[in-house]
Amino acid sequence: MTARANGFPLPRGRAALVPSVLAADFTCLKSSLAPVKRAADWVQVDVMDGRFVPNISFGPGIVPAVAKASGLPIDAHLMVSEPGRFIDAFAAAGSGLITVHAEARNAGACLRKIKALGLRAGLAVRPRTSLARVVPFLAGLDLILIMTVEPGFGGQAFMPEMMPKVAKARSLISRSGRRIWLQVDGGINAATALTAAQAGADSFVIGSALFSSGKPAAFLRGLRAEL
């Protein structure tokens, strides 16, 4: 299998570092994202609808702007109650991977639709949602996202109590024999990324810690060396 499918990287035993746009400098996306081009693997747009989470962020219009500014593939994390209404738009906007939440409406049908569009499909679970909600969909997944904060805002504290869930997801993936990313998102910095990697994560969404570092490329290179 190629290292990329539909332009999106596949797990190949190397950590995937994923800047979260939510924490980028919106006064100039280009200067904020251009430095991560050579050091990151893809970029995540954190989409919020004000219903599934108590915050509103952005729509599909941001995808081409982020893709142009970063030159990287885009992962659209839909923190929305009815993701089925937005999959076509995020696909048409250029997302290479779309993640829906297991707690959202018609998650299974959404995953099937994402795959039918030739995209990579991710399934996310809130901290309080059991991993059992992921098992029925495992065969069709390209990514499992274990939230390490309650979704809705950047800059929150990492929840170390999510590590047993990460470890359980890693053994689920290993037993499945499938190439599925195990992503963590929320409160990820150099220390918590190592904690999550030890539990079995191999994709790290990083917002505040990355962009507040002032040197995002150096931050990512240093983290990759550690991982």
Exactly one of 69, 107, 188, 196 binds ligand DX5 (CB under 6 A); that residue is 188
Exactly one of 60, 154, 200, 216 binds ligand DX5 (CB under 6 A); that residue is 154
- Residue 191 CB, shortest distance to ligand DX5, in Å, is 13
Q: Does 22 bind ligand DX5 (CB under 6 A)?
A: yes
Q: Does 75 bind ligand DX5 (CB under 6 A)?
A: no
- Residue 154 CB, shortest distance to ligand DX5, in Å, is 3
Q: Does 129 bind ligand DX5 (CB under 6 A)?
A: no
User: What three-state secondary structure class fits 177?
Assistant: coil
Exactly one of 75, 142, 185, 202 binds ligand DX5 (CB under 6 A); that residue is 185
Catalytic residues: 46, 185
- Residue 92 CB, shortest distance to ligand DX5, in Å, is 22
Q: Contact, 104 vs 81, CB < 8 A? A: yes
- Cβ proximity to ligand DX5, 96 vs 152, nearer residue: 152
What residues contact residue 75 under an 8 Å CB cut-off, 6+ apart? 8, 18, 42, 43, 44, 45, 95, 96, 97, 98, 99, 122, 143
What residues contact residue 171 under an 8 Å CB cut-off, 6+ apart? 200
Q: At what angle do helices 216-226 and 190-199 cross, to 10 degrees?
A: 30
Q: Does 46 bind ligand DX5 (CB under 6 A)?
A: yes
User: What three-state secondary structure class fits 39?
Assistant: coil
Q: Does 43 bind ligand DX5 (CB under 6 A)?
A: no
- Residue 190 CB, shortest distance to ligand DX5, in Å, is 12
DSSP assignment of 91-131 equals HHHT-SEEEEETTSTTHHHHHHHHHHTT-EEEEEE-TTS-G
Q: Does 35 bind ligand DX5 (CB under 6 A)?
A: no
Q: Does 19 bind ligand DX5 (CB under 6 A)?
A: no
Nearest Cα to 36, choosing from 58, 57, 14, 21? 21
Q: Output the six-digit token pair for 176.
A: 């499945």
Q: At what angle do helices 163-176 and 190-199 cross, to 10 degrees?
A: 50
Q: Does 207 bind ligand DX5 (CB under 6 A)?
A: yes
Give the total residue count for the chain: 227
Exactly one of 81, 129, 156, 213 binds ligand DX5 (CB under 6 A); that residue is 156
Q: Does 155 bind ligand DX5 (CB under 6 A)?
A: yes
Question: Binding residues for ligand DX5, per CB under 6 A?
Answer: 20, 22-23, 46, 79, 149, 151-156, 185-188, 205-209
